[in-house]
Each structure stands twice: as C-alpha cells, then as structure tokens.
Structure 1
Amino acid sequence: MIDPRLQTLRVLHEQGTVTATAQALHLTPSTVSQQLRQLSARLGLELLEPAGRRVRLTPAALALLGHADALFARWEEARADLAGYADGVAGRLRMTGVATAITGVLAPAAERLRREEPRLAVEIGEDPGENRFDLLLAGRADIAVVIPTPGGPPPGDARFTQLPVLQEPQDLLVPAGHRFGGRTAGGVTLAEAAEECWIRAGDPADQHQLLLAACAAAGFTPRVRHNAVDWSAIAALVAHGCGICLLPRLAPVPDGYRDRVVRVPLRGEPVPVRRFMAAVRRGSERRPPIARGLAALRAAAGERA
C-alpha cells in the first residue's frame, strides 16, 4: 500500500550505489535504476544527481526519505493491528545474529517458539559479512540481534526499534602455564594485562572495538600482533603462545584446546561487556510473530542471566 519504489530509494541511501542496492533487494541494477526514474517522474522532481561514477540523493530525495521512514513505521503498526484479528500466530519469522548470539539466545528462543507457536516457521541465519540492519531494511530479516558499534544506527533512528536483550561478560583466554592461569577463581583486572601481546579475536567490527574501548578505559593501548575470526583458530594462536585475547562468555573453548588454554574471568572496573540488542523495523514490534519472537529472546536471555 506504500509505493515500493520508496523502499528502493531508502536502500539506495543506505547502500550508496545502485549495484549494492540491487544486491540488497535481489533485483538487477537496471530494475533499480528504472524504479528510481519512475519515482522521479511521478513526483516531478529530480531525486538523484551524478557524483563522479556514483550518484547521490538530491535535497528533495532526502526530504522524501524523512516522510518515507514515517510511512513505513506506520505501515508496520497497521500490519500489527490487523494481525490482531487473525486466529493465533502463524507465518514465518526470520531472525539473524552473530554466532554467539545464536548460541546464547536465538537457538533457545527458536526451541521455545516451536513448543509455544507450532504454526510459526522460524528461520535463523548467521549471515556473515552482511549488515544486519540492511537485512531488516530490505525485508530479508524480521529480528536482528546486533552488537551496537560506532557508525551503526543510533537508538533514535526513525527506521528501527532497538531493544536490550543481554549483557555478555568477557573473559581472558590465556595459554596453559601463563601467569594468569592459576587465577580462575579470583580473576584478574584488565590493567594487569597491559604488557601482554594481544590477538585481535572475532569480528573486527564489534569484538575488536570492544577490546580497544575496554583497554582505553583501563589506561593502555593493546599491542596487537595477530588476528583471527574463527574461535578454533584463535584458540590455536593462544595455545601456541602467540598472545592472549578477550573471549565472550557465550563462546565455548573449542574441544581440542581445553587442556591447552585457560579461561580467566575479569574483575574490577571496568569489566568489558558486550551488549546485545534486538533490532526490528520500527512499528513491527507489535506484529504477533515478531512480538512472540522478542518475548522468546527475552526469556532465553533471562535464563542466561
């Protein structure tokens, strides 16, 4: 009931290029260009202007986007109201999140939903390399469990509703025989590790930013010498004495390294934590499938607390 070409304009503003917009919406670049030309002709306004090899939105297009965000939020609210007349909860719920979010809350939430809402088909994806807010905007996900990072949508972004789900403590992962290895009961402060060599562990977009921020708050800059994303590779680097790293509480130590590395809790102030937020398209949180999904996530997080 809202001109779908407005959605194309919104995604173009987020992605920056026609090619990336086409990929996000599963369209061809020529279809994206045609839709935007049609929208421009319908409004009698220029919406795009050349900027080198790319295009940028005109002031008129940026003004239109503000109205489009409000329209889509109201449309989600209308769908939520209409869904209240349906008999029970049915349909499809698509959720996305990082691996530790799947382990900690998404998979348990899916199990709960299978028991409580058998007519609701739940799909979960890790979607590596994807911007999960883009997946929401393009309609390819309904709930995204995200870790707030600099440069991400702020809490007041008109396109999304963001709700707290879980705070995950961080531990130190050190090799067996390390000077911290015998302090698993009392823990160590992050400042005590200022002279250590560090591994950039996990997703650089969030986990590494957490390391930098936590170390800065503790009064030092970490000496980073190695990096890996997969936790098995990270555990191998630690086990072979290449450095230490932050390990999210929800991330398990890989089986092959449990006797070669030690998980040491952090204490004192500040203790680094990773915050998980559930993000949805603004207004959609009242739709029964999404509302049930959010409730299941909160219940799963409560069991972790």
Structure 2
Amino acid sequence: MIDLRRLHVLRAVSHYGTVTAAARALHFTPSAASQQIRQLARDLGVDLLEPQGRGVRLTPAAESLLAHADAIEARWDEAEQDLRAGEGDPAGPLRATGFPVAVAVLLAPMAARLRERHPRLSVRIREVEVAESFDLLFEGESDLAVVEATPANPPSADARFDQRPLLDDPFDLVVPEGHPLAGRDGADLAEVAHEAWIAPVAKSPCRPHVMAACGAAGFTPDVVHHACDWNVTAHLVSHGLGVALIPRLAQLTPELPIVRVSCADRPHRKLLTCTRSGGHRRPAVAAALEELRALAAAAVA
C-alpha cells in the first residue's frame, strides 16, 4: 500500500525541482523530505532518486509513478466534487490568485459579482506572480488562478493543471501628448524604431512580448528606462522620456498627458484561467469561471 503523504513529497520534488525546495514548500526539513522518499522507495522496492552532480534527479521509475500520482490526485478531487454535488448553491471559501492587472480588472469585479449572486460563497483573492499561482494550485492553497501565458508555465498538456484561454490582451503604443503619432488611429512600431523606449524589467513576463514585437517590426528598441509597474511606465512616458508598449487591460492614471495608439502589428499577450485538474467542475469554481468569461468578453469588446 502506497502512503499518499510520501507520494505527495515525491510530487513536490518533481514540481519544485529539488528536495530542498520541495521541503521548504511542504514545511519539512530537507532530511525529513528525503527520508519520506527513501521510505517510499523501500515500500515499492525501486529507486526513486539518483545522483546528478551535487543534486539528485528522478529515476524513470519515479517518473512513471508520478504519472499515476497525478491521476490519483485528479480522481480524489473528482470524488470530493461528487460528494458535494448535491449541495446546491455554491458555498464556502473560493481562493483565487492572479497578477496585478488580473486582480484589478478581472478578479476584483468577479468577487463583487459572486458576493451578490452567491452570498454563501466567500471569495479570497491573493495577488501573486504567475509562477507562484501554479505553486499555490499545486499545494492546494488556491482553487483558481488567472495567469499570463509564458514559456516558463507548465505545458498545456500537464495533467496536474487545467489551463483554458480567457482572453487576448493587446498592447498599445503609449506616447506623450504632442507626439507625432498621438493623433493617429493606428501606427506601425517601425515608426518609433529610433526613439527611446521604456520597457518592463528583465524578470517581467511582458518583456519578451515587447522585445518580440519590436523584433518582428525589424528593430531592437533602445531601452533607456525599465519599470515594474505599468503606471510607472506611463509616468515616464508622460515626461517625454520615451515610448512604451502597455497592455490595454492595464488601468493607467487618467490625468496623465499620454495617448494610447493601436498597433497595426497587433502584439498581444494571452491570459488563461487555471485550476487543478478537474477543478473547474466544483460549483464555486464553475460560478467564478462564468463571471470571468463575461468580464473578459466585456473587457475586449
């Protein structure tokens, strides 16, 4: 008989990449986490970890076991949903996470609508970066996330998560008032190829979109300033310090002397909803997803 607690430690090692990181997430010491995996290996009569440099990696037997472990986790969630299927109106806590723009534009109004329509449902929102949203879902600390699609995300085929398209968020070219493009309905990015640029910091999921859009237009931007927050970017633009690409969903300070110009190149980022595998069937999550889809449709209309 497999001890599911030990199996969860192995799943955590696979998710976080190292025994130390998995132990930290599970509030174990590294030695205790290693002991759990060694005992699981003895129970099964196979090696689950093997040395790799100064660390360890999963053996083929461990990879095979994890495929079954993910299926077990999903079936357990399904069983819990079936037990609660007759409870009627969504109730209890719903834990949602998202990056700043997603919280402001989608999750906050979603929570307000759910409060009106399902008073027995208690929504709890947590602002986190994209990678942490997946960690919290994996740990069972979150039920629903709105994330940006990035190359660092788990693949769409990852059996642990259910990732679904929500909306495409276009980037606008943002220029100061008085800029030659400010009165235009649209512009090609190549028209600002020789200007100073303000770009997201290197760790931002949006930086690759900005650099790729400029590259597709045939130039590498001269990035003079970097910012984490879109409103900081907008303030820099307002002082004539450069131009920028800013997602349309980003809510900017309204009185700033800046103008958004649609890009003929149509650069955009994709936003997804994500739950644990099968989690979208939970009544509370299903109600939240319905509201999010309505809000997303209105946001891009």
TM-score (norm 2): 0.91
Is residue 2:165 matched to residue 1:164? yes
Q: CA deviation at 1:133?
A: 1.3
Q: Tell me the residue number matched to 1:65.
A: 66
- For 1:2 and 1:247, locate their aligned partners in 2 and report how far apart those are by CA, in whole Å: 49
Residue 270 of structure 2 aligns with an amino acid whose one-letter code is R
Corresponding residue for residue 225 of structure 2 = 226
2:219 partner amino acid: F
Larger mean Cα displacement after TM superposition, 174-183 or 131-140: 174-183
User: 3-state DSSP class of the match of 1:141?
Assistant: coil
- Structure-1 separation of matches of 2:79 and 2:154: 24
Partner residue of 2:110? 109
Instruction: Indicate the SS of the match to 2:187.
Output: coil
User: Which stretches in structure 2 are left out of the alignment for 5+ residues?
Assistant: none
For the Cα contact (< 8 Å) 2:172–2:263, is it kept in 1?
Answer: no
> Per the alignment, do residues 276 and 205 of structure 1 end up closer, same or farther by CA in structure 2, a change over 3 Å counting?
same
Instruction: Determine the C-alpha separation between the residues in 2 that align with 1:210 and 1:217.
Output: 10
Letter in 2 for 1:169: P
RMSD over aligned Cα, in angstroms? 2.2
Taking the aligned partners of 2:216 and 2:131, their CA distance within structure 1 comes to: 30
Q: Are the structure 2 counterparts of residues 2 and 98 from structure 1 closer, same or farther at C-alpha, using a change threshold of 3 Å? A: farther
Q: 1:103 to 1:130 in 2, by over 3 A?
A: same
Matches of 2:240 and 2:203, distance apart in 1:
21
Structure 2 partner of 1:148? 149
Shift of 1:226: 2.1
Structure 1 match to 2:14: 13
- Aligned counterparts, 1:202-217, within 5 A: 204-217=203-216
Matched residue pairs, number? 299
Structure 1 CA distance for aligned equivalents of residues 163 and 130 of structure 2: 21
In structure 1, stretches of 5+ residues that fail to align are none
Q: Greater CA deviation, 9-18 or 127-136? A: 127-136
Q: What CA distance in whole angstroms lies between the structure 1 residues aligned with 2:31 and 2:218? A: 52
Q: Are the structure 2 counterparts of residues 250 and 142 from structure 1 closer, same or farther at C-alpha, using a change threshold of 3 Å?
A: same
Q: Is the 1:202–1:230 contact (alpha carbons within 8 Å) kept by the matching residues of 2?
A: no
Q: Which of the numbers 250, 273, 281 marks the counterpart of 1:278?
A: 273
* Residue 289 of structure 1: how far off its partner (Å): 1.5
CA contact (8 A) 1:159 1:282 kept: yes
Checking the alignment, whether the CA contact within 8 Å between 2:235 and 2:256 is kept in structure 1 is no
Contact 1:75-1:283 within 8 A present in 2 as well? no
Report deviation, 1:130: 4.6
Q: Normalising by the residue count of structure 1, what TM-score does the alignment of the two structures yield?
A: 0.89
Following TM superposition, by how much is the alpha carbon of 1:2 offset from its aligned partner in structure 2, in angstroms?
Answer: 7.6
Amino acid at match of 2:288: G
Secondary structure, aligned partner of 1:206: coil
* Structure with more relative contact order (C-alpha pairs < 8 Å, separation 6 or more): 1
Aligned 1:243-254 pairs, distance under 5 A: 243-254=242-253
